[in-house]
Amino acid sequence: MLIGREKQQEALLELLERDESQFCAIYGRRRVGKTYLVKQTFGDKFAFVHTGLANATRIEQLWEFRESLRSAGVKKCKLPKTWFEAFHMLQDHLASLPDGKKIVFIDELPWLDTPKSRFLPAFEHFWNGWANLRDDIVLIVCGSATSWIIGNIVHNKGGLHNRLTRQIHLRPFSLKECALYAQKRSLEMTHRDILETYMVLGGVPYYWSLLRPEWSWAQNIDNLFFDETAELRDEFKALYASLFRAPQPYIDIITALGTKKVGMTFDELDKTLTINLGGKLTDKLEELEQCNFIRSYTALGKVKKDTRYQLIDNFTLFHFKFIVEANKGTRTRWMTLIGTQKYRAWSGLAFERVCMLHENQILKALGISGMECGIYSWTYRPQDEKGTGTQIDLLIDRSDNVINLCEMKFYSDPYAMTKADDEAVRDKKTIFQNVTQTRKAIRIVMVTSYGLVRNAYAKGIPNQLTMDDLFD
């Protein structure tokens, strides 16, 4: 049951149509469905399939590689002593097969690169010295250790530099894809249920596969995080450990960013961290962004050095807000937290992050999806105590001389704007105009769960979107 992924599946199938050998790398966070995508696309049409072993020695990896060769049909197969010998055995097997495309799929490739194993030089030689010289090899590799894939395959500066013919960054599901998944699994979830579940789990397909149809969304969250045997209670550590071989620096970066709603600049983050990353902070930020944990943005009117990095991963936000305390022994249940002040603070922030992850849907709902737009956040801090600061979490700078200031409100009913709300929106608009000196028209956009109550204050909001628009 493959939900979404049409473009990625089309890209994989195109590899079979090329006249020369193809080398494709698929990367993305743990549990996002990389292996499932490949196997659902090609079925059993593989000439060779192998999966690396986690935390195994070089000898154990080579032993399993031999077993994969046997499974592929190699009858006489000795245990290779080196990776060079192992790949020569693979070459001999592939060369013996009938004419036609030969799909080679190596899953969890980073795990094969054990210390002092010389795996990478042997792998480079396999591609450069043999497979790339033919016209019938389709080599597909993937792995959850995104930092290794990016550093050693995508951005390789050695023998594999610019050798990839295709790379696929597999991202989590959108709300629409989660709705389709829920329907396929007969989960009987409303858009509100799906949205609130997304605010906790994000769009990671495996997490959604754990939901039980006989339970409400709140019961499912209790089961996954707060029960004594909750399957995802310790997922945070496993997640970062699977993506990064030395995960602590990445966790330190995420933890620091988690304290600032609007994010931090490179310099602010560098000063905050208590560890010395040896000039590798830029690389680690890029890897975290490739895994969809953070986003980078430059505020309107700012330059590149003012780029801010912001935590946007809902699963991580939920972990910091609730699971850290639960893991310290604080006994609680999700169903008792719903409606509390702590829940309301978290849900407002989580809803904002969901909106940021669905910027394309917001552009479409505004009727400007084909227009050139800049997506920003904007913060103003006055230079003296008498001034008034403000923050705009989502700002759309349009090429038709309009700027949309988006306000996002998560509420259980249609949102009734008050006089205070109206004044706050007007003040925000005025501060933005005065500070930026923009000549563009400023229009407020309200994105809410169920829309606005039709009252006098709502009349001043020209664009009103609901959570349903995020599902488009």
User: How far is C-alpha 347 from the geometric centre of its chain's CA atoms?
Assistant: 20
pLDDT value, residue 395: 92
pLDDT value, residue 187: 95
CA distances to 43, 103, 209, 255, 309 from 40, rounded to whole Å, are 5, 14, 16, 36, 35
Pairing of β 463-466 and β 441-448: parallel
Q: Phi/psi of residue 70, each to 5°? A: -65, -40
Can you read off the two tokens belonging to residue 206?
Answer: 């495996």
Q: Regarding predicted confidence, which is higher, 193 or 244?
A: 193
pLDDT-wise least confident of 46-55, 72-81, 294-303? 294-303
pLDDT value, residue 292: 86
380 pLDDT more than 90: no
143 pLDDT more than 80: yes
pLDDT value, residue 329: 67
Of 251, 269, 247, whose CA–CA distance to 260 is shortest? Answer: 269
pLDDT value, residue 388: 84
Percent of the chain with pLDDT over 90: 76
278 pLDDT more than 80: no
Can you read off the two tokens belonging to residue 122?
Answer: 């042997």
Question: What are the tens digits of pLDDT across the range 186-240?
Answer: 999 999 999 999 999 999 999 999 999 999 999 999 999 999 889 999 999 899 9
Percent of the chain with pLDDT over 70: 99
Q: Regarding predicted confidence, which is higher, 389 or 138?
A: 138
Q: Regarding predicted confidence, which is higher, 375 or 80?
A: 80
pLDDT-wise least confident of 61-70, 96-105, 371-380? 371-380
What mean pLDDT do residues 428-453 have?
94
pTM of the model: 0.92
Residue 303: band (very low, low, confident or very high) from pLDDT cuts 50, 70, 90: confident
Pairing of β 308-311 and β 373-380: unpaired
What mean pLDDT do residues 290-315 have?
85
pLDDT value, residue 46: 97
pLDDT-wise least confident of 252-261, 289-298, 382-391, 424-433? 382-391
pLDDT-wise least confident of 131-145, 215-229, 293-307, 339-353? 293-307
Residue 298: band (very low, low, confident or very high) from pLDDT cuts 50, 70, 90: confident
Amino acid at 243: L
What mean pLDDT do residues 408-412 have?
94
CB contact at 8 A, 39 and 32: no
Question: What are the tens digits of pLDDT across the range 321-356?
Answer: 999 877 676 678 899 999 999 999 999 999 999 999
pLDDT value, residue 176: 97
Residue 72: band (very low, low, confident or very high) from pLDDT cuts 50, 70, 90: very high
Mean pLDDT of the chain: 92
pLDDT value, residue 201: 97
pLDDT value, residue 123: 98
Residue 21: band (very low, low, confident or very high) from pLDDT cuts 50, 70, 90: very high
Question: What are the tens digits of pLDDT across the range 148-180?
Answer: 998 899 988 888 989 999 999 999 999 999 999
399 pLDDT more than 90: yes
| Region for residue 339 given its phi and psi (left: phi exceeds 0; alpha: psi -120 to 50; beta: otherwise) | left
